[in-house]
Amino acid sequence: MTEKPLSTVAASGSPASGAGAAPAPGAPLLQVEDLEVVLSTGSVTGRVIDGVSFGVGAGRTTGLIGESGSGKTMSAMSIVRLLPDGAETSGRIVWRSQNLLDAPRRRIREVRGREIGVIFQDPLAALNPIQPIGKQVGEILRRGGMARQDVHARVLELLGRAGIPDPEQRVDVYPHELSGGLRQRVMIAMALAGEPQLIIADEPTTALDVTTQARILRLLADLRHQEGLAMLLVSHDLRVMAHVADEVVVMYAGRVAERGPAREVLERPRHPYTRALANNVPAVSTKTAIAEPLQGAPANPFDRPSGCAFHPRCPLAVERCRTEKPELREVEPGRFSACHRATEVAP
């Protein structure tokens, strides 16, 4: 790989954070290095994630963007080993100086939910339908060793922190009795229960109406500022990214197409795929004069086109793009693009 990590973690340096100690804002917290995921489904096997690298700094938000099937969710879920059966991973996922890909299952269970909280796209599917919400939040606290007599008060506090009004009235309700927005707030309370340093939020607002989306995003932003939380946000919605992310990683067909500071990448893309995504969203439209709507269907990561996987859809494609895979390389300080013609993309 010719790329440099977004933020680097010393292979054998001191932990990014000690047990319970908060690292300095922006300090490297998580580093994903050259991640590969090989997946077998029936008779088909493919490297669905191919050499993906990115980082998340303490108190910062990194966004993974891309169309459906681009590999953003799979990259994020690799971190906490929530992958489909049959998935094989390689590379490094460095968390507190430990490569989680080598860590035993017991350590992963410790990390997941306690050090790294996860918010799923569909809270109704993620929550237990036959257990009151308070019990579900309380279970995480009990598993973390909290004394039984302290759990109830802490559950109420967490539901309140997640913006659920009148927690005392709602602690015993079941998930189906709540609106989509409140269910997502329960997921946030559960993610906060372990006092994590990082939250992975997988399309946390996709199923919600626009007003509720805005409220949930504001809540996540407030939590990040108040509690110094770092966030890895997975979304196909560039408007969300433009408002929330510090850094973005644009993914296509299981590879990183472009990476860098969010505002710069979204306003001044260095990859035709990013430019096409941005041009499809008026609120995030680039400063380029040419509107090039995204044509064609996303590449199948089980059967990628040769060379640059984006070439069948790319208005800038030349012969070289069909045969030679572009490496992710630094095209200006802090900006990385996997495009042979990166310097011609920006105006």
Give contact residues for ligand SF4 (rule: CB under 6 A): 271-272, 308, 310-311, 314, 316-317, 321, 326, 339-341
Report strand pairing: 116-119 vs 198-202.
parallel
Nearer to ligand SF4, 60 or 340 (CB): 340
Question: CB of residue 298 vs ligand SF4: minimum separation in angstroms?
Answer: 14
Question: CB of residue 252 vs ligand SF4: minimum separation in angstroms?
Answer: 9
Nearer to ligand SF4, 264 or 327 (CB): 327
Spell out the long-range contacts of 13-20 with Cβ–Cβ below 8 A and sequence spacing 24 or more: 13/97, 14/97, 15/96, 15/97, 16/58, 16/95, 16/96, 16/97, 17/58, 17/96, 17/197, 20/195
Question: CB of residue 322 vs ligand SF4: minimum separation in angstroms?
Answer: 8
Residue 122: CB atoms within 10 Å: 15
Nearer to ligand SF4, 172 or 344 (CB): 344
DSSP state of 296: S
Q: Retrieve residue 53's tokens.
A: 């690298």
Beta carbons within 8 Å of 53's beta carbon, 6+ residues apart: 1, 3, 5, 6, 31, 32, 33, 34, 35, 256, 328
Question: CB of residue 304 vs ligand SF4: minimum separation in angstroms?
Answer: 12
Helix (H, G, I), strand (E, B) or coil at 226: helix
Nearer to ligand SF4, 14 or 323 (CB): 323
In contact, 163 and 185? CB cutoff 8 Å: yes
Nearer to ligand SF4, 136 or 286 (CB): 286
Nearer to ligand SF4, 20 or 296 (CB): 296
**Count of residues in the chain:** 347
Question: CB of residue 74 vs ligand SF4: minimum separation in angstroms?
Answer: 22
Nearer to ligand SF4, 5 or 269 (CB): 269
Helix (H, G, I), strand (E, B) or coil at 230: strand
Q: Which residues pair with 199 in a beta bridge?
A: 117, 231
Question: CB of residue 332 vs ligand SF4: minimum separation in angstroms?
Answer: 16
Question: CB of residue 169 vs ligand SF4: minimum separation in angstroms?
Answer: 54
